Amino acid sequence: MANVFVTRKIPESGLKLLQKKHTVRVYSKDQVIPRRELIKGVKWADALLCLLTDKIDKKVLAANPYLKVISNYAVGYDNIDIDAAAEAGIPVTNTPGVLTQSVAEHTAALAVALAKRVAEADSFTRKGSYKGWEPMLLLGTELRGKTFGVVGLGRIGSAVADIMHKGFGMDIVYFDIKKDKTFEKRVKATFEAVPQLLKKSDIVSIHVPLLDSTHHLIGARQFRSMKKSALLVNTSRGPVIDEKALVAALKNKTIRGAALDVFEFEPKLTKGLAKLPNVILTPHTASATEEAREAMSLIAAENILAVLSGKKPKYLVKK
Ligand code: GLV
Ligand code: GLV
Q: Rounded distance, CA 128 to CA 124, Å?
A: 7
Residues of the domain holding 265: 100-281
- Out of 107, 155, 183, mutate this one to test ligand 2's pocket (max ligand atoms within 8 Å of CB): namely 155
3 state SS of 151: strand
Q: Rounded distance, CA 88 to CA 64, Å?
A: 10
pLDDT of residue 318: 83
Q: Rounded distance, CA 232 to CA 211, Å?
A: 20
**Angle formed by the axes of helices 100-115 and 155-162, nearest 10°:** 50
3 state SS of 42: helix
DSSP track, 68-92: -EEEESSS--TTB-HHHHHHTT--E
Q: Residues 176, 155: one domain?
A: yes
Residues with CB under 6 A from ligand 1: 52, 74-76, 99, 287
139 C-beta neighbours (distance < 10 Å), count: 8
Q: Which residues contact 225 (CB under 8 A, 6 or more apart)?
A: 195, 198, 199
* 284 is a catalytic site residue: yes
Q: What is the pLDDT along the chain (319 residues), one digit of tens a residue?
A: 999 999 999 999 999 999 999 999 999 999 999 999 999 999 999 999 999 999 999 999 999 999 999 999 999 999 999 999 999 999 999 999 999 999 999 999 999 999 999 999 999 999 999 999 999 999 999 999 999 999 999 999 999 999 999 999 999 999 999 999 999 999 999 999 999 999 999 999 999 999 999 999 999 999 999 999 999 999 999 999 999 999 999 999 999 999 999 999 999 999 999 999 999 999 999 999 999 999 999 999 999 999 999 999 999 998 6
151 pocket-lining for ligand 2 (C-beta < 6 Å):
no
Find residue 218's DSSP bridge partners. Answer: 241
What atom in ligand 1 is closest to the CA of residue 262? Answer: 2
237 pocket-lining for ligand 2 (C-beta < 6 Å):
no
Average pLDDT, the chain: 97
- Number of folded domains that form the chain: 2
What atom in ligand 1 is closest to the CA of residue 237? Answer: 2
User: Residue 214 in contact with residue 242, Cβ under 8 Å?
Assistant: no
How far away, in angstroms, is 75 Cα from ligand 1 center? 5
User: Residue 153 in contact with residue 174, Cβ under 8 Å?
Assistant: yes
Q: Which residues contact 48 (CB under 8 A, 6 or more apart)?
A: 4, 5, 7, 41, 42, 56, 67, 69, 70, 71
pLDDT of residue 123: 96
Instruction: Pick the closest to residue 172 from 201, 198, 140, 209 (CA basis).
Output: 201
286 pocket-lining for ligand 2 (C-beta < 6 Å):
no
pTM for the structure as a whole? 0.95
For ligand 1, atom 4, name the residue with the nearest CA: 76
Instruction: Pick the closest to residue 148 from 178, 172, 112, 184 (CA basis).
Output: 172
75 pocket-lining for ligand 2 (C-beta < 6 Å):
yes
* pLDDT, tens digit (0-9, with 9 covering 90-100), for 198-222: 999 999 999 999 999 999 999 999 9
- Out of 10, 71, 73, 75, mutate this one to test ligand 1's pocket (max ligand atoms within 8 Å of CB): namely 75
Q: Residues 147, 177: one domain?
A: yes
C-alpha distances (whole Å) from 149 to each of 101, 106, 176, 281, 284 are: 18, 16, 11, 20, 21
H helix intervals, 163-210: 168, 181-187, 194-200
Q: Residues 124, 236: one domain?
A: yes
Q: Residues 126, 63: one domain?
A: no
Q: Residues 277, 297: one domain?
A: no
209 pocket-lining for ligand 2 (C-beta < 6 Å):
no
Q: Residues 227, 92: one domain?
A: no
Q: Residues 147, 24: one domain?
A: no
For ligand 1, atom 3, name the residue with the nearest CA: 74
For ligand 1, atom 1, name the residue with the nearest CA: 74
155 pocket-lining for ligand 2 (C-beta < 6 Å):
yes
Of 207, 237, 256, 293, the catalytic one is 237
Q: Residues 247, 112: one domain?
A: yes
Q: Residues 84, 141: one domain?
A: no
Rg of the chain on CA atoms, in Å: 21
How far away, in angstroms, is 249 Cα from ligand 1 center? 27
Instruction: Pick the closest to residue 90 from 115, 110, 63, 113 (CA basis).
Output: 63
* pLDDT, tens digit (0-9, with 9 covering 90-100), for 179-191: 999 999 999 999 9
Count of residues in the chain:
319
Q: Residues 160, 179: one domain?
A: yes
Q: Rounded distance, CA 199 to CA 72, Å?
A: 36
Q: Residues 225, 192: one domain?
A: yes
3 state SS of 190: strand
Q: Residues 89, 41: one domain?
A: yes
Q: What's 319's DSSP letter?
A: -
Q: What CATH number did the domain enclosing 144 receive? A: 3.40.50.720
158 pocket-lining for ligand 2 (C-beta < 6 Å):
no
What atom in ligand 2 is closest to the CA of residue 207? Answer: 5
**Order of strands across the sheet that contains 3-6:** 23-26, 3-6, 47-50, 69-72, 92-93
154 pocket-lining for ligand 2 (C-beta < 6 Å):
yes
